[in-house]
Chains A and B, each alone.
Chain A
Amino acid sequence: MIIGLSITRDIHDWLYGAMPEWAASLTEMVLIALVYLGIFAVAGLFLVLLERRIAAWFQQRLGPNRVGFQGLLQTMADALKLLSKELTGTTKADTFLYNLAPYFVIISSLMALSVFPFTREFQAFDINIGLFFLIAVSSIGVIGILLGGWGSNNKYALIGAMRSGVQTISYELSVGLSLLTMVLLTGTLQLSQIVEVQKSGWLIVQGHIPAIVAFMIFMISGTAETNRAPFDMVEAESELGAGFHTEYSGMKFAYFFLAEFINMFIICAIATTVFFGAWLSPFGITESIPLLGVFWFLLKTLMLVFLMMWFRWTFPRLRIDQLLTLEWKYLLPMNLVNIVIMAVMVWLNLTIKF
């Protein structure tokens, strides 16, 4: 029994009935873009608030709880404040690149957001190379950071940007390889197909030991990819001021800030899709109500987001050489061995399936 998300199809049919084809598809694109921009803004603001509250609880504080119920409007107020602020710049900055940088960061995270299967048929762009697209697009963001650091003509910003480049190039490898391990299991890169495969058990159960190892590697390198603590040398407050966004103010700073949190959401959403069955409910308890898939997807993603916040408020920051040692001497060899183990396992049919 499939009720399906017929709302989207209804809107689609109605649009194509009311307008010529080109106008209908154009309107549809604009509508979808607006929806995803909305998701971007709301999710970003919500995650900032969540981070602040959870940080407070980890440190036995209360956190922002004054604006709105339990501080729910706090980040909204912050965004309004940032909107009303002056956009400063340095005189010797490369103005074009300086202004371009935040949009690179934002657009890359928006593009990555578009391919996630939030629930059945609720996916803007079901491309057949989904995972590859995700890995490729999410690494464009670092260009924004590099441009921002270079364009602002500031020592700290440049050092921060260079560190970000080093870090992302190194850890991109681990992200890709750990996802590749799971692709061996699914046999497809298309995200909707990956979800289909997981109807006979989530991949972390199907692939047991190598899958768990791959998940751990993915979470570590994902944390490094998003430049969050303990890998936050890009904006290490005690060393570099604010890192690559030292010279940014007002809304441009807010773009960087929001994109950072959306990137965290994206990494966790990839982990949810690939390891924890995306919108599938545990043991298929709500299979007949596809709309609840959104709930399950967000629940799993937020659990992983919580895990990343837990990392952040527990571990001290790594030094740059320790960071590179971790990647090249530990994660990468482990990952390669893990891929071989997974391949052998798939070949001998040792996976667990229900």
Chain B
Amino acid sequence: MSYFSEIYNGVITLLKGMSVTGKYFLNSRKGAITQQYPDNRDTLKMFERFRGEVIMPHDEKNEHTCTGCQKCEIACPNGSIEIVWDRGIDEYSGKKKKKIDKFVYHLSLCTMCGLCIDVCPTDAIKWGQNFENSVYDRTQLTRVLNRPGSKLRAGVED
């Protein structure tokens, strides 16, 4: 008798599968997941965990939190981060201290592995959501992440 129950079960499961896809078909007008990219450029928002490029957030007083510890430079497997640093007088303590001059980031070398961001003790660098990275000249892919005139936020190292 298993012959007939097999036929019955087969037909039932096929119909179940068809009802699932049928529901998708009927709801396709509302729920299309396709992004019509160049058209919706203004409203397109990339999702939280998207790895577009490494950025260094600055607050409104033009201060970042990078202490120049160079952990990211060491962690980077292909040398896409170069930190040019200097020693200067710290205005709070009056002592000589290490601080960054330029945080150089080579986007053309970066594999988006995220090790630099994981290793950063002060969360100075983060993932940016920009993905339109094509340029006509590859020198434009070498970026200085800290803005000119920016300095370390007070109290980050405490």
Asked whether A315 lies within 8 Å of B34 as measured between CB atoms, the reply is no
Given contacts A58-B28, A315-B14, contact A310 B33 (CB under 8 A): no
Within 8 A of A (CB), among B93-123: none
Interface string of A56-80 (1 = CB under 8 A from B): 1111111000000000000000000
Within 8 A of B (CB), among A296-315: 310-311, 313-315
**Chain B, interface SS category:** helix
The docked-state distance in angstroms from the alpha carbon of A59 to that of B34 is 10
Asked whether B22 lies within 8 Å of A310 as measured between CB atoms, the reply is yes
The docked-state distance in angstroms from the alpha carbon of A316 to that of B32 is 23
Asked whether B21 lies within 8 Å of A313 as measured between CB atoms, the reply is yes
Interface string of B52-90 (1 = CB under 8 A from A): 000000000000000000000000000000000000000
- Which of A60, A62, A310 has most chain B Cβ within 10 Å? A60
> Contacts of B31 on A, CB cut-off 8 Å?
60
Given contacts A315-B14, A330-B7, contact A58 B21 (CB under 8 A): yes
Selected contact of B21 from candidates A56, A62, A310, A330, CB within 8 Å = A310
Closest to A66 in B: B36
Count of B interface residues, CB-CB < 8 Å:
16
The docked-state distance in angstroms from the alpha carbon of A56 to that of B25 is 9
Interface string of B1-38 (1 = CB under 8 A from A): 00000010000001001101110110110011110100
Least distance between A55 CB and chain B CB atoms (Å): 10
The docked-state distance in angstroms from the alpha carbon of A167 to that of B28 is 34
Q: 10 tightest CB-CB pairs across the interface, nearest first? A: A57-B28, A314-B21, A62-B34, A314-B17, A61-B34, A60-B33, A58-B25, A62-B32, A314-B18, A57-B25
Q: Which residues of B contact A (CB under 8 A)?
A: 7, 14, 17-18, 20-22, 24-25, 27-28, 31-34, 36
Extra A-B contacts (4), CB below 8 Å, given A314-B17, A315-B17? A58-B25, A60-B28, A60-B31, A62-B34
